[in-house]
Structure 1
Amino acid sequence: MMKRNLFLLMVLANLAWVQSPVWAASPSAEQLAARMLDRIHEATAVPEGQGQRVVNIFFDPDCPYCHKLYNDLRPWVGKDNLQLRWIPVAVLTPSSMTKAAAILQAPNRLQAFYENENNYDLNASGSPGGGIDPAKVVEPQTRKWIDANDAVLKRAGIYYAIPLVVFSDKAGKAELFIGAPQSADQLRAMLASVR
């Protein structure tokens, strides 16, 4: 079952950078995005940047497509009044929870997040994915934070679709994007539309 879920996750995450629901039936992508934004205050994030234009990014520390999105966003950090809010979830691998915990339990969460991404596939434990060493102990509060992050996805009816980007556009409409962009132009257009 785990292999099947991993395969489905990879298929979903590799979808074109599209604005569409995970499945063809209702609700619409806008409705899913609105559900998520209504509950985004329940999520524990690692903020990057100080801007007023907020982009929420659900990521798994072991997700290769999340890592690609991280790399693609580097030129945008600190520009155009953008704030990236990286929201760790634990849905991909057995080490996802302990790596997400290592990020959230660190004295400097942003630095721990950078360690995970900048050393991707280079971690000392030899486990695939993120470069941060997994936490030896997941503190109860940390588990609650990660479970709450996962719940924001699940309450919206979205499972294992990461990376997932959600924000309000300039018209105030909730927007949802799944996967890593296929081009710099797609990423630029998405970021330009953020309110």
Structure 2
Amino acid sequence: MKRILFLLMLLASLAWVLPPVWATSPSTEQLAASMLDHIHEATAISEGRGKRVVNIFFDPNCPYCHKLYNDLRPWVGKDNLELRWIPVAILTPSSMTKAAAILQAPSRLQAFYKNENDYDFNPSGSPGGGIDPAKVVEPQTRKAIDANDAVLKRAGIYYAIPLVVFRNKAGRAELSIGAPQSDKQLKDMLASVE
């Protein structure tokens, strides 16, 4: 009994010395900044050209990523906005081979469009993205997709997609997980991009 009492007192005294767990956890801004610090390591497919850059991590089989793709159609090429789609392979076994099919295509953008525009209608019958999986994943393609995945992992974020990361007009890093719930939310987010 004395040992238990001693251990409880020891733990209570440590509570005054050690910072609480939440005090050492990174903020959303810190996570976003970490991702932006490493974004140059990612391989992306760009839509539009502009100084206002929005990075979007997506899995070819992700239904929420597909929703975000559809929601962003009216914004492509407008307001000096560039959308950088960064493929990751985290949801299903065919995610890697579909991401590879996109990155190994002669036109990555057209392959990306094929995946999204034919979502759930691919001839192979596998759920998700509409592109046929690559039969062979070339080593440099696997390395690129692994690097994309690593940007998420390094920030401590993994299965949270779609994940949107950008700098706001105040220069702070921001991230948003999941597809915005309304047109207003999407419009407000895009309006805040630096």
- Equivalences for residues 3-82 of structure 1 within 5 A: 26-82=25-81
Deviation at 1:177, TM superposition (A): 0.2
Deviation at 1:53, TM superposition (A): 0.4
* Backbone CA RMSD of aligned residues: 1.2
Deviation at 1:175, TM superposition (A): 0.2
Q: After TM superposition, where is structure 1 displaced by more than 4 Å over at least 4 residues in a row? A: none
Deviation at 1:188, TM superposition (A): 0.1
Q: Which residue of 1 aligns with 2:88?
A: 89
Bigger relative contact order (CA 8 A; separation at least 6):
1
Q: Which residue of 1 aligns with 2:117?
A: 118
SS of the aligned residue for 2:37 comes to: helix
Deviation at 1:24, TM superposition (A): 10
Structure in which a larger fraction of residues adopt helix: 2
Gaps in structure 2 of 5+ consecutive residues: 1-21
Gaps in structure 1 of 5+ consecutive residues: 1-22
Between Structure 1 and Structure 2, whose CA radius of gyration is higher? 2
Question: Across the two proteins, how many residue pairs are aligned to each other?
Answer: 173
SS of the aligned residue for 1:115 comes to: helix
Deviation string 1:90-109 (CA, Å, 9 cap, x unpaired) is 00000000000000000000
Q: Which residue of 1 aligns with 2:183?
A: 184
With normalisation by structure 2, the TM-score equals: 0.88
| Percentage identity across paired residues of the two chains | 85
Deviation at 1:173, TM superposition (A): 0.1
With normalisation by structure 1, the TM-score equals: 0.87
Deviation at 1:51, TM superposition (A): 1.1
Q: Which residue of 1 aligns with 2:128?
A: 129
